[in-house]
Amino acid sequence: MKTALFPGSFDPITKAHVDILKRSLSLFDKIYVGVGTNSTKKSLLSVEQRLAMIKAVFADEPKVEIISYEGLTVNFCREIGASHMIRGIRTVSDFEYEKAIAQMNHALIPDIESIFIVSKPGYSSISSTIVRDVLRYGGDVAQFVPSPAIPFLKELG
Q: What confidence tens digit (pLDDT) does each residue in 63-79 have? A: 999 999 999 999 999 99
| Domain ranges, residue 50 | 3-153
Is the model more confident about 51 or about 154?
51
Q: Is residue 130's pLDDT more than 80? A: yes
CB-based contacts of 125, cutoff 8 Å, min separation 6: 90
> Which of 17, 50, 84, 132 does the annotation list as catalytic?
17
Q: Does the annotation mark 128 as catalytic?
A: yes
Q: Does the annotation mark 106 as catalytic?
A: no
Whether residue 50 is annotated as binding a ligand: the answer is no
Q: Is residue 100's pLDDT more than 70? A: yes
Residue type, 144: F
> Which of 24, 114, 119, 128 does the annotation list as catalytic?
128
Question: For the chain, how many structural domains are there in total?
Answer: 1
Name residue 6's beta-bridge partners: 33
* Three-state DSSP class for residue 138: coil
Separation CA 107–CA 113 (nearest Å): 11
Q: Does the annotation mark 17 as catalytic?
A: yes
Average pLDDT score, the chain: 94
Tell me the C-alpha to C-alpha distance, in Å, between residue 17 and each of 53, 84, 108, 118: 13, 17, 26, 11
Whether residue 37 is annotated as binding a ligand: the answer is no
The CATH number covering residue 146 comes to 3.40.50.620
Predicted local confidence at residue 67, as pLDDT? 98
Separation CA 16–CA 57 (nearest Å): 13
> Which of 2, 22, 41, 136 does the annotation list as catalytic?
41
**Separation of first and last alpha carbons in the chain:** 42
Predicted local confidence at residue 124, as pLDDT? 87
Q: Does the annotation mark 132 as catalytic?
A: no
Separation CA 13–CA 89 (nearest Å): 15
